[in-house]
């Protein structure tokens, strides 16, 4: 089997690729910035990077910065379900935007800090008079703790809002959850293949509320309690990622503050002493095997004929933004053409779609 790790050449991507060579027959690293997508009505699409055809791989793991979110989503959308990809196309939009990520987590029943999103200075300043301090002010996009500010009073919050107005940035105003007795703390959890493969506590510097290792925070290994383990796996699944880092604040209850689709591994390997890159590589291999086993057995398309000579297919439902999406073989088998008029009969648990044959009266 062949694996392609698509990223920006970071150390963590290289570590995963190195460990994956133990499991995969071939591992190729590709720079995301060199990926080229060609879309054509007749030829369909092709995805290449210099002389490498990405369609030839069995598994493609896409990593990278929020700056390339559209390319990440387009690449994954083009090849998703054709090869094994651990991150769904929609996950890149959700994971790289703090507002959309928080909304998705809340909708899936995962606890998050109380948050407000505003885009106008006047709205924000009106809100500042009503919230309890201290608060966190964030910009929707950013990584490694950048774009996160702490305000302990209304006056300091107003100054921050004025600064953001200069840069024409919308902002998220979020409740502050006290964690460590003196310093701020959070928990970084790595999920791969539907289970937790590593966890550490991150502790901030005295003068900083950010516990990120990239923001000079320190780490220590921890044994994750069952509830936080469950929350972490559920959060990754909610976003649509088989591999992700989940950041949790432990106050009176646990709250997820971020889902990271391209986590750095250097810090968590250092503080836990575990080879997290090897665990991720192993999960990629295992999930790829399962993906192709299901594809080989056609588990998603079991066909029989009923007494009325209708072909029956057992498929999993897929509802996207309230729309019921049907596989391509349904359209092909029905013989429907674009623009055909149809009669749709609906009752709970059943849908029937019949082509409406309209004949003009003889003149």
Q: Is the pLDDT of residue 214 over 50?
A: no
- Tokens at 256, concatenated: 């997820």
Query: How many helices (H) and strands (E) in the chain?
Result: 10, 21
Mean of the per-residue pLDDT values of the chain? 84
What count of other Cβ atoms lies within 10 Å of the Cβ of residue 321?
6
Q: Is the pLDDT of residue 120 over 50?
A: yes
Q: Is the pLDDT of residue 184 over 90?
A: no
Averaged pLDDT for residues 348-362: 68
The backbone torsions φ and ψ at residue 340, rounded to the nearest 5 degrees and listed phi first, read -60, 145
Q: Is the pLDDT of residue 144 over 60?
A: no
Q: Is the pLDDT of residue 75 over 50?
A: yes
Higher pLDDT, 282 or 52: 282
Model pLDDT for residues 255-280, shown as the tens digit of each residue: 999 999 999 999 999 999 999 999 99
**For residue 310, what pLDDT is reported?**
66
Element housing 116 (H / E): strand 115-118
Model pLDDT for residues 78-110, shown as the tens digit of each residue: 999 899 999 999 999 999 888 899 999 999 999
**For residue 302, what pLDDT is reported?**
46
Rg of the chain over Cα atoms, rounded to whole angstroms, equals 24
Under the banding of pLDDT at 50, 70 and 90, the label for residue 60 is very high
Structural domains for the chain: 2-94 (3.40.50.20), 114-176 (3.30.1490.20), 302-355 (no CATH)
Higher pLDDT, 160 or 277: 277
Model pLDDT for residues 223-240, shown as the tens digit of each residue: 999 999 999 999 999 999
The closest alpha carbon to 197, from 269, 94, 111, belongs to 269
Under the banding of pLDDT at 50, 70 and 90, the label for residue 336 is confident
Under the banding of pLDDT at 50, 70 and 90, the label for residue 166 is confident
Averaged pLDDT for residues 16-28: 97
**For residue 263, what pLDDT is reported?**
94
């Amino acid at each position: 089997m062949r694996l392609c790790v698509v990223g920006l050449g970071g150390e963590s991507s290289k570590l995963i690729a190195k460990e994956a060579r133990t499991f995969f027959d071939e591992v190729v690293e590709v720079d995301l910035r060199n990926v080229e997508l060609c879309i054509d009505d007749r030829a369909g699409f092709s995805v290449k990077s210099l002389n490498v055809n990405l369609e030839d791989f069995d598994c493609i793991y896409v990593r990278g910065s929020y700056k390339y979110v559209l390319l990440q989503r387009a690449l994954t959308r083009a090849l998703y379900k054709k090869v094994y990809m651990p991150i769904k196309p929609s996950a890149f939009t959700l994971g790289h935007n703090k507002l959309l990520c928080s909304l998705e987590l809340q909708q899936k029943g995962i606890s998050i800090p109380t948050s407000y999103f505003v885009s106008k200075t006047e709205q924000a300043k009106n809100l500042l008079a009503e919230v309890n301090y201290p608060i966190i002010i964030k910009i929707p996009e950013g990584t490694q703790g950048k774009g996160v500010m702490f305000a302990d009073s209304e006056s300091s919050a107003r100054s921050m809002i004025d600064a953001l107005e200069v840069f024409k940035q919308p902002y998220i105003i979020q409740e502050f959850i006290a964690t460590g007795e003196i310093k701020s703390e959070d928990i970084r959890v790595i999920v791969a293949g539907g289970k937790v493969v590593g966890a550490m506590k991150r502790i901030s510097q005295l003068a900083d509320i950010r516990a990120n290792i990239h923001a000079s925070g320190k780490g220590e290994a921890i044994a994750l309690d069952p509830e936080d383990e469950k929350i972490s796996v559920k959060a990754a699944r909610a976003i649509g990622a088989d591999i992700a880092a989940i950041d949790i604040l432990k106050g009176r209850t646990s709250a997820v503050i971020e889902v990271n689709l391209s986590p750095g591994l250097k810090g968590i390997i250092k503080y836990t002493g575990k080879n997290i890159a090897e665990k991720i590589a192993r999960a990629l291999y295992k999930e790829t095997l399962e993906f192709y086993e299901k594809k080989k057995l056609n588990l998603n398309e079991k066909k029989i004929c009923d007494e009325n000579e209708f072909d029956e297919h057992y498929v999993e439902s897929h509802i996207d933004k309230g729309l019921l999406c049907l596989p391509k073989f349904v359209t092909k088998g029905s013989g429907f053409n674009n623009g055909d008029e149809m009669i749709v009969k609906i009752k709970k648990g059943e849908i029937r779609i019949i082509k409406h044959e309209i004949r003009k009266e003889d003149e």
